[in-house]
């Protein structure tokens, strides 16, 4: 993938102004990654107050990444930040001197080490603490009386310390509204992620042997996802999401799979029905009915259609095909998380999302039953376009027969 050009600042600013925000300060992992491209090593170690992204409503002001100097040098410098993001470093020790690895007495620094040092020195001033760093990032007028959004308790406390005169409001819904529409770079990243995720699912189920346990199928999926360069998140097998379930799969079994993995931080989400051996006639008919309903429903996805209308339309289509079965047809936005749509509107009230070009959504189509007939699921990732929608991975396999 080429370098991420970053968020659409004009659109982000429009959303923030619509919600009367002068700036956002966020620390949730996916929000920091969205705004800056950074995934500080500290978050993987369990520290939730060691990196913050600052997004001013004024698009002329750069997005800032507030982060401890050593994690910036040790991890972020290797891959860099989104274009237009300014690192704002905080001292990792008792002094403002940068903490870096030393050269050996008879050796010289590697090219990677030189790149790390250069990025650290070019970042400029190392601030003594996060409140000071935030104070140096935002205009003084915002610190005195601006309206600043936050997404976590840690972000809220930082704003309180740096800008005691500011008006604080919850900003999680704001940044979720931003994340709802994908940039061209994000669409490419998600297309890669979705295709790799689909391939990992196929490799896992096609390696199933009689007697394999549900947990073995999940482990196989994780192995194949990792081998393909993705990070496995979970796989539901036959309605089981828990790990270490030792129930075996048997000949004649029909079971659903729902695989979720991430690549470049973006999620793939893919569901199918697997027949191990000759399927039973009844469950095979239900799987085909759901597939037929989804094919029609997916062809009708277009800008302006609301989430509630997707569910209602899917139910009506399926009822006309096979009225005896129930499927929720539940839409959700997918991106840096499996589910990332906002849950409130710009006014803080209830929200029924209307499709817009640039959204990537899933519509969950599980058969809502659990019997000895088996389990059924169907799920694809769809990009909403100007005139309709298209899948971002191959979809020529609604049913997998082993």
The closest alpha carbon to 33, from 22, 23, 21, 43, belongs to: 43
Tokens of 402: 């082993």
Tokens of 153: 């308790």
Tokens of 127: 């601030």
How far, in Å, CA of 223 to CA of 85, rounded? 35
- Chain position carrying tokens 């689909």: 198
> Torsions phi, psi of 9, nearest 5?
-65, -40
Note the pLDDT of residue 393: 98
How far, in Å, CA of 274 to CA of 401, rounded? 6
For residue 215, the surrounding DSSP H or E stretch is helix 214-227
Per-residue pLDDT of the chain (402 residues; tens, 9 = 90+): 889 999 999 999 999 999 999 999 999 999 999 999 998 888 888 887 899 999 999 999 999 999 999 999 999 999 999 999 999 999 988 888 899 998 888 888 999 999 999 999 999 999 999 999 999 999 999 999 999 999 999 999 999 999 999 999 999 999 999 999 999 999 999 999 999 999 999 999 999 988 899 999 999 999 999 999 999 999 999 999 999 999 998 888 899 999 999 999 999 999 999 999 888 899 999 999 999 999 999 999 999 999 999 999 999 999 999 999 999 999 999 999 999 999 999 988 999 999 999 999 999 999 998 888 999 999 999 999 999 999 999 999 899 999
Note the pLDDT of residue 202: 97
* Distances 117 to 62, 86, 305 between C-alpha atoms, Å: 22, 16, 51
> Torsions phi, psi of 201, nearest 5?
-60, -45
DSSP state of 202: H
- Chain position carrying tokens 């491209």: 37
Tell me if 256 sits within 8 A of 239, measured CB to CB.
yes
Note the pLDDT of residue 309: 98
Note the pLDDT of residue 105: 84
The closest alpha carbon to 32, from 47, 15, 17, belongs to: 47
Tokens of 4: 């991420």
Tell me if 294 sits within 8 A of 326, measured CB to CB.
no
How far, in Å, CA of 276 to CA of 248, rounded? 12
For residue 263, the surrounding DSSP H or E stretch is strand 253-263
* Distances 44 to 9, 39, 51, 71, 108 between C-alpha atoms, Å: 28, 8, 12, 11, 30
Which residues partner with 91 through β-bridges?
A: none
Q: Which residues contact 199 (CB under 8 A, 6 or more apart)?
A: 224, 228
Tokens of 115: 């790149």
Note the pLDDT of residue 118: 95
CB atoms within 10 A of CB 166: 20
How far, in Å, CA of 157 to CA of 175, rounded? 18
Note the pLDDT of residue 383: 98
pTM: 0.94
Tell me if 386 sits within 8 A of 184, measured CB to CB.
no
How far, in Å, CA of 323 to CA of 241, rounded? 28
Tell me if 240 sits within 8 A of 214, measured CB to CB.
yes
How far, in Å, CA of 290 to CA of 400, rounded? 14
Note the pLDDT of residue 251: 85
DSSP state of 242: S
How far, in Å, CA of 231 to CA of 93, rounded? 33
Which parts of 8-152 fold into alpha helices (H)? 9-18, 29-36, 41-44, 69-71, 77-79, 111-122, 130-137, 140-145
DSSP state of 306: B
């Amino acid at each position: 993938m080429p370098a991420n050009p970053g968020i659409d600042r004009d659109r982000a600013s429009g959303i923030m102004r619509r919600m009367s925000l002068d700036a956002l300060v966020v620390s949730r992992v996916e929000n920091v990654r969205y705004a800056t491209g950074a995934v500080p090593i500290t978050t993987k170690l369990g520290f939730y107050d060691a990196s913050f992204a600052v997004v001013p409503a004024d698009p002329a002001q750069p997005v800032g990444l507030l982060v401890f100097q050593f994690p910036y040098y040790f991890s972020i410098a290797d891959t860099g930040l989104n274009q237009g993001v300014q690192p704002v470093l905080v001292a990792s020790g008792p002094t403002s001197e940068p903490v870096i690895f030393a050269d050996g007495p008879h050796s010289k620094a590697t090219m990677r080490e030189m790149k790390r040092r250069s990025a650290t020195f070019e970042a400029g001033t190392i601030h003594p603490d996060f409140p000071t760093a935030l104070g140096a990032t935002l205009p003084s007028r915002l610190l005195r009386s601006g309206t600043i959004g936050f997404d976590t308790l840690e972000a809220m406390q930082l704003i309180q310390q740096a800008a005691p005169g500011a008006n604080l409001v919850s900003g999680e819904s704001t940044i979720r509204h931003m994340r709802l529409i994908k940039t061209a770079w994000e669409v490419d990243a998600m297309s890669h992620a979705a295709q790799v995720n689909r391939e990992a699912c196929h490799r896992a189920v096609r390696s199933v042997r009689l007697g394999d346990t549900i947990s073995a199928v999940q482990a196989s999926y994780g192995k194949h996802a990792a081998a393909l360069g993705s990070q496995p998140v979970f796989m539901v097998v036959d309605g089981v999401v828990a790990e270490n379930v030792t129930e075996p799969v048997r000949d004649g079994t029909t079971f659903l799979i729902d695989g979720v993995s991430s690549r470049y931080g973006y999620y793939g989400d893919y569901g199918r029905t697997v027949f191990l051996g000759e399927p039973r006639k009844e469950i095979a008919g239900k799987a085909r009915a759901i597939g037929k309903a989804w094919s029609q429903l997916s062809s009708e996805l277009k800008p302006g259609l609301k989430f509630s209308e997707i569910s209602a339309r899917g139910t009506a289509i399926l009822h006309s095909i096979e009225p005896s079965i129930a499927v929720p047809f539940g839409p959700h936005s997918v991106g840096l998380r499996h589910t990332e749509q906002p849950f409130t509107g710009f006014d803080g009230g209830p929200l029924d999302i209307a499709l817009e070009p640039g959204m990537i959504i899933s519509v969950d189509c599980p058969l809502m039953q659990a019997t000895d007939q088996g389990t059924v699921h169907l799920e694809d990732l769809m990009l909403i376009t100007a005139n309709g929608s298209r899948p971002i991975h191959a979809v020529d396999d609604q049913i997998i027969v082993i």
